[in-house]
Amino acid sequence: MSAAPLDRWALGRALTRMANASTAERARAAPREAPRQVARRIGITGAPGAGKSTLVGHLALERLSKGRLGVLAVDPSSPKSGGAILGDRVRMDDLERSTELYIRSLGSRRTCDGLADNLPEMLDIMDEFGFDEVLLETVGIGQAEYAVRAQVDTLVLVLLPDSGDTVQAMKAGIMEMADIFVVNKSDLPGAQKMATDIQRIAAVLRPPAGAWRPPILLASASQPDSIRALSQAIDQHQAWRGADPQWRTQLRAQRARYRLRRLLEMRAAEAIAGQGDDFVDLPMAEQLTAVLAAMRAALAL
Ligand SMILES: Nc1nc2c(ncn2[C@@H]2O[C@H](COP(=O)(O)OP(=O)(O)OP(=O)(O)O)[C@@H](O)[C@H]2O)c(=O)[nH]1
Ligand SMILES: [Mg+2]
């Protein structure tokens, strides 16, 4: 547990400032050394309306005893209140009583991968404020799973009972990325069939010996046992991860690369958009020179 009390006002301000930071400001904000404390990062992703917020709310109640807990919800639509973020089935008074819980909604703005623009930096801020764990809700819109993968230690993919076609469509890519599958709303028909479908696909993938084998769980907001089982699966995955001495170093390298790539992608998009009409008629080499010059200037390099 963190000793210093949580300064919500300072945290809120730091997150807001980072949410609105320009690319150049972000470049300056990159940490030079590893933070003293790194929060466990649990990603909860899945299709719109899969019940992610409701699940995150119940998980937050279940995991509050593990220390300072942050909930960040990347909301592609409008910013919502804390209550709406956590779905409509959780008793908010239980959560709000806690001084060690912080809930925040982040708009996904202009990014196409469904993550907030400055999410890596905002997660660093959570580390600085001594969080033990961060639950990150993102809407899975294809690329989102790839983007969120680099940001979290444990990725939970939330699926619905009645989406047999979706499993076919998502195929191996996303299946290989998730650490835990949850067939949510298992009070509705078709949950077991969905779980069996995932099992079949997972069996074909054949993970190498020693690899994590993602559990396939059924969950429902109305069944507290199912939330507890999910929470335990998260703990098991965290323990498995932590047993690998190389893991933290690899994770840090992976996140650093992702951060840089994202910074360059955003700046490149801005630099291209800022070129005049005659730009498209220039030879490619000149286009590149112009774009790189604009990027250098914007990043104040
Ligand atoms: N039957 C059933 N309905 C549920 C369950 N969990 C959530 N819901 C309902 O599903 C709807 C969507 O729930 P949310 O938790 O907001 O889903 P979400 O995935 O966060 O939605 P977005 O953030 O908008 O993508 C709500 O009407 C919930 O009441 C469940 O376990 N069973
Ligand atoms: Mg939600």
Q: How many residues does the chain have?
A: 301
Phi-psi region of 214 (alpha: psi -120 to 50; beta: other; left: phi over 0): beta
User: Which among 45, 52, 54, 218 is the best mutation to test ligand 1's pocket, defined by most ligand atoms within 8 Å of the CB?
Assistant: 54
- Mean per-residue pLDDT, 142-161: 82
Range among 56-65, 105-114, 174-183, 244-253 with highest mean pLDDT value: 56-65
* Residues 6+ positions from 279 with CB-CB distance below 8 Å: 287, 290
Whether 297 shows a pLDDT value over 70: the answer reads: yes
Which pLDDT value is given to residue 85? 58
- Mean per-residue pLDDT, 126-136: 94
Which pLDDT value is given to residue 108? 62
Return the minimum-mean-pLDDT range out of 49-58, 257-266, 278-287: 257-266
Confidence of residue 204 (pLDDT cuts 50, 70, 90): confident
Distance 87 CA to ligand 2 centre (A): 6
Whether 129 shows a pLDDT value over 50: the answer reads: yes
Confidence of residue 90 (pLDDT cuts 50, 70, 90): low
**Amino acid identity, residue 188?**
L
Per-residue pLDDT tens over the stretch 225-272: 999 999 999 999 999 998 888 888 888 888 888 888 878 888 898 899
Whether 115 shows a pLDDT value over 80: the answer reads: no
52 lines ligand 1 (CB under 6 A): yes
Which protein residue has the closest C-alpha to ligand 1 atom 6?
Answer: 51
Global confidence as pTM:
0.86
Return the minimum-mean-pLDDT range out of 11-25, 82-96, 97-111, 250-264: 82-96
Tokens of 250: 């690899």
Ligand 1 atom, smallest distance to 184 CA: 31
Ligand 1 atom, smallest distance to 84 CA: 16
- Angle of helix 8-19 relative to helix 119-128, nearest 10 degrees? 160
> Rounded mean pLDDT of the chain?
82
CA dist., res. 183 & res. 230, Å (int): 11
Which pLDDT value is given to residue 300? 76
Distance 51 CA to ligand 2 centre (A): 7
- Mean per-residue pLDDT, 77-92: 51
Ligand 1 atom, smallest distance to 89 CA: 29
Rg of the chain over all Cα atoms, to the nearest angstrom: 20
Top-confidence residue, 110 or 208:
208
Which pLDDT value is given to residue 172? 55
Whether 191 shows a pLDDT value over 80: the answer reads: yes
Which pLDDT value is given to residue 95? 62
Phi-psi region of 176 (alpha: psi -120 to 50; beta: other; left: phi over 0): alpha
Percent of the chain, pLDDT > 70?
80
